[in-house]
Amino acid sequence: MESYLNENFGGVKPKHSSHEALGRWRKVVGVVKNPKRRFRFTANLGKRSEAAAMKRTNQEKLRVAVLVSKAALQFIHGLAPQSEYTVPAAVKAAGYGICAEELSSVVESHDIKKLKAHGGTEGLLSKVSTSESDGVSTSKDKLASRQEIFGINKFAETEARSFWVFVWEALQDMTLMILAACAFFSLVVGIATEGWPKGAHDGLGIVASILLVVFVTATSDYRQSLQFKDLDKEKKKITVQVTRSGYRQKLSIYELLVGDIVHLSIGDQVPADGLFVSGFSLLINESSLTGESEPVAVNAENPFLLSGTKVQDGSCKMLVTTVGMRTQWGKLMATLSEGGDDETPLQVKLNGVATIIGKIGLVFAVVTFAVLTESLFRRKIMDGSYLSWSGDDALELLEFFAIAVTIVVVAVPEGLPLAVTLSLAFAMKKMMNDKALVRHLAACETMGSATSICSDKTGTLTTNHMTVVKACICGKIKEVDKSSNTKSLFSELPDSVMTMLSQSIFNNTGGDVVINQDGKREILGTPTETAILELGLSLGGDFQAVRKATTLLKVEPFNSAKKRMGVVIQLPGGAFRAHCKGASEIILASCSKYLNDQGNAVPLDSATIAHLNATIESFANEALRTLCLAYIEVAQGFSANDAIPEEGYTCIGIVGIKDPVRPGVKESVAICRSAGITVRMVTGDNINTAKAIARECGILTEGGLAIEGPDFRTKSAEEMFKLIPKIQVMARSSPLDKHTLVKNLRTTHEEVVAVTGDGTNDAPALHEADIGLAMGIAGTEVAKESADVIILDDNFSTIVTVAKWGRSVYINIQKSAPLTAVQLLWVNMIMDTLGALALATEPPNDELMKRTPVGRKGNFISNIMWRNIMGQAIYQFFVIWYLQTEGKTLFELKGDNSDLVLNTLIFNCFVFCQVFNEVSSREMERINVFKGILDNNVFVAVLGSTVVFQIIIVQFLGDFANTTPLSLREWFSCIVIGFIGMPIAAIVKLFPVGSQ
């Protein structure tokens, strides 16, 4: 397995780019559009790089600590005289022969000598009061006793950050700190010159603004952290197969206790420290703990298993010896707890666009401060008081500075990104309810952009509830029906054939037949294994009797590259025999004989081969998975180190397994097609089976191509380029074929690809895809860790739901008005930065002296302001709503780009509404807003610049702002709609309201 992965995937580059590449990409995305980012801060790639470096450092610390601790412990044990171990009284009283610390030291130090001193694995089984066959007792008192003596399998978690920590972090923003300083000086100077409370108004106003921003920001981030913590807990819900009181059952890894017998297979994560009890071909990947990529062979000679490592090949039974913080993983995590905090997906900061807008805002802030300061100096020079400066003058300068800083703050908008992050968090929570666990936030939006889905067949498109419905044994084809007496199906065949069939089914399996706690027979294993075992039992076979009559010498677990599984057994008389099963045409190709109806092994002739191939094709055309069973006599002297034969087998028979298509899959595939998403089936099954299922699901259409993996991989790059768009089904595919297909779709054809996977070998394809979708039920832990989204119910319809949510997130970001991030930033700058600059520079007029004083209790936002605000708000709301609903009809828009044209019109109308509203806002009560307008050069320049930039954005920066050029008629309409706001504003001003 390891050599296969290294050979085919050793040079595969991951989809996650380097720091430098990420930086370049972000610059591009930042300029074009980046609606999912936070807009409060600019990106800090340096900080992210430091976090990555910290992670690498921690991994190196782990690796060094593991090696050093092993060496040190072995050295100490080598020097120290071996004194006899004394069992503590409390442990002895509880019925155990060893304490938790001694157990931990055996595995931690990999001390074979100490293990032998305790009687080896068998001795430890006895000392912790367990057995390989029965496991620990499920008596409540005994389980409680184990927990008290040996502990529980939970790690100390870092304490969740409180709300006030997020408040403190929000206060670290530089612009807020500057504003806070302004507030402080404003309070000091104001109170000193005008007294309390009048002199404190401005300063307290700034403080209130700061607190509002801080608490909104902290609340958002705190809720996001809680959301991420919940998702993290969901990700850690891992179950394992455990034997307790003689029954195999599924338990959470957090419920494991010392003495438990855990069943591990390919792709499983080792849930605690322990010892190998029995198993075959076990290879453990310890890279997560030691950093070493080479797998470690674990067997009776090297029986030590460490928590956090993963099973790369083989299977075994494991005795749990150490749990929780006593495991080596737990101890090392405790020493590294001071490492930097991981940046959660929900805390991604803005880059590109916000940096640019922030700089523009800074320029306008400086200009504003300069203009206001210049006006103060000019006034004092004209008054002849430029040599005498009072506290009022200082307060005025401070106010100018506060205005400038405020412009910087509002230039980087807060409302839109808050909506973005809340929309994403909401989507993640809802997707969890819809059986999809999002591991990486970016997958939410990316899935909404998916153009291609490469789906597995088994368990995703089908129910994964398999049953054998047809069988061809010794050339006799029979239909298997549960309602009929299956035993009588092959009653005409000799007993020797039925014995050989039972031996093949019950020995060459990764499953098991047990009696559960209710006293009923239960079949454990994969759906395929379960179906085969069910056939063996229905034919009258006895699983336990067959297993006891033979001895397993070597097991080669199913391999998706070889598409076969094999075992070598020793028979009661001492002879050796190998059994294999797997893909029918592959196993049949390795056979030279077959069992005839007399029970004799006779050479395969062309007629028999043709008959068997026709049977395989017939079964496959009925959408049945086909497996071939075969055996070979092995020469004496076979050892576990010898390879299992691959040729010269005798064919026993072929079985056809029915795996029904899931309800709703055909409809979901149709939805994908109408949404512009191409669904491809990638499976290891026979091509005829794959085509039959694909037709039933609606995947294989007229003109679509079905191809086999061996044929696909022989194609040249040019041939692949032409073929891939037509491929709808790939059968008999290997992990390399799947990876190649995904890579070509992403790079050569520039598609956004989602890929499903459940096995360890699917990890490279999941990692290569834009969105990796792992199966929550059938998926291995290795596959889940490589995925972006975990489909909790293994259902294809859920994948379609994820795509739907992904699109919904993007639409929700733009729900209030169909404006992109760049457009909203531009409008924000018009309303806040440019508007402030234009209106703040209006010179005072004589009319101000005719108004009554505001008074001490007067509201800052007066009734007059509320009247004007509501008038414009209602008009602009009506304009946007009407254009959104009736705009296409009004402007007679048709064609593929009608949506883009409409969105551009809405954007343009909205901007011109703001432009003319700025003119109307020059006077709060007077109808004539044009009086003296040309005297204010800054206002005219700002207004003119806004219009010029708007023309450039719409007509020439389509890719940047997501707009399209408009016709003269459309431009005229936008200007008219914006201008109508002015007479409306004038009419609104006629309505009398109180000044307060």
CA atoms within 13 Å, Cβ hemisphere of 944: 8
Q: Are 689 and 620 in contact (CB under 8 A)?
A: yes
Comparing CA positions, the residue from 973, 989, 877 lying closest to residue 922 is 989
DSSP state of 826: H
Neighbours of 740 (CB within 10 A): 22
Comparing CA positions, the residue from 111, 114, 116, 153 lying closest to residue 259 is 153
**Structure tokens given for 449:** 């952009």
Residue of 268, 456, 512, 685 with catalytic role: 456
899 catalytic? Reply is no
Any idea what the Cα angle at residue 59 is, between residues 54 and 60, rounded to 5°? 95
**Structure tokens given for 806:** 């992904």
**Structure tokens given for 671:** 């939805």
Rg of the chain's alpha carbons, rounded to an integer?
A: 37
**Structure tokens given for 970:** 């459309």
Q: Which helix (H) or strand (E) holds 808?
A: helix 796-813
Cα→Cα distances 670→126, 225, 673, 675, 681, Å: 59, 38, 5, 9, 14
Environment class of residue 727 by beta-carbon count within 10 Å: exposed (0-12), middle (13-18) or buried (19+)? buried
The residues, ordered by sequence, that sit 6+ positions from 409 with a Cβ below 8 Å of its Cβ are 175, 176, 179, 213
Please state, in angstroms and rounded to a whole number, the distance separating the CA atoms of residues 120 and 780.
Answer: 31
User: How long, in residues, is the chain?
Assistant: 996
CA atoms within 13 Å, Cβ hemisphere of 330: 19
Q: Are 367 and 375 in contact (CB under 8 A)?
A: no
Cα→Cα distances 192→196, 200, 403, 787, 912, Å: 8, 9, 21, 63, 45
CA atoms within 13 Å, Cβ hemisphere of 347: 22
**Structure tokens given for 154:** 């939970």
Residue type, 489: L
Residue type, 704: G
**Structure tokens given for 871:** 């008038």
Residue 874 phi/psi, 5° resolution? Answer: -65, -45
**Structure tokens given for 330:** 């737990």
Q: Are 616 and 540 in contact (CB under 8 A)?
A: no
Largest interatomic CA distance in the chain = 125
Cα→Cα distances 864→845, 870, 877, Å: 18, 10, 20
Please state, in angstroms and rounded to a whole number, the distance separating the CA atoms of residues 129 and 96.
Answer: 6
Cα→Cα distances 990→359, 766, 848, 864, Å: 41, 66, 19, 11
3-class state of residue 477 by DSSP: strand
Q: What's the first-to-final CA gap in the chain, in angstroms?
A: 80
E-strand ranges in 196-272 read 239-244, 247-252, 261-264
Cα→Cα distances 415→217, 786, 828, Å: 10, 34, 10
Neighbours of 6 (CB within 10 A): 12
Core vs surface per residue 469-489: b (16+ CB within 10 A) or e = bbbbbbbeeeebeeeeebeeb
**Structure tokens given for 606:** 């062309």
Q: Are 354 and 39 in contact (CB under 8 A)?
A: yes
Catalytic center residues:
456
